[in-house]
Amino acid sequence: MSADDEKDDVGRSDERGWLTRTVLPGGTEPDPRFTLANERTFLAWTRTALAFLAGGIALAALPLPDMPDEIKHVLAIVLLLIGTLLAVGAAVRWLRVERAMRHARPLPLPLIVPIMAVVASAACVGTCLYLLM
């Protein structure tokens, strides 16, 4: 543990661990505040993913007499799928932002924004149809 701390405290690019060197090659260490902010954004998305997973699990687990089992299962799988994709997307986004910051490039556009807009719109339309039927 103390050896790890010494290595981390220095923070020079040539002393980074194997994994970090592989996925974040080249460039220079950005401002530590940006590194930490990127980490917190990743964590916020991960919690969003976990919330989707918890929602999907709850839907599949709790008894809902008014909802047919097939629909319940499909909805649960959709929620679980969204949660899983968000978890992967959070890591990809973190990596892209970290790479951009290391090379002082502009930050990549968030791909998740159009996706979330489509998902939210689809949910609204779905709810409207459900209420009308």
Q: Which is nearer to another protein, 95 or 116 (CB)?
A: 95
Rounded to whole angstroms, the Cα distance separating 53 from 18 reads 31
Whole-number CA gyration radius for the chain:
20
65 versus 133: smaller Cβ distance to another protein: 65
Half-sphere exposure of 11 (CA within 13 A, CB side): 7
Q: Which is nearer to another protein, 6 or 117 (CB)?
A: 6
CB atoms within 10 A of CB 47: 12
Helices 69-102 + 32-61 axis angle, to 10: 170
Minimum distance, C-beta of residue 128 to another protein, in the bound complex (Å):
26
Minimum CB–partner distance for residue 132 and another protein (Å): 28
Tokens of 126: 């779905």
Instruction: Answer whether 29's CB lies under 8 Å from 8's CB.
Output: no
In angstroms, what is the minimal distance from the CB of 125 to another protein? 24
Q: Residues in the site for another protein, rule: CB under 8 A?
A: 1, 4-5, 8-12, 16-17, 19-20, 23-24, 29, 31-33, 35-40, 42-44, 46-47, 49-51, 53-54, 56-58, 60-62, 73, 76-77, 80-81, 83-84, 87-88, 90-91, 94, 98
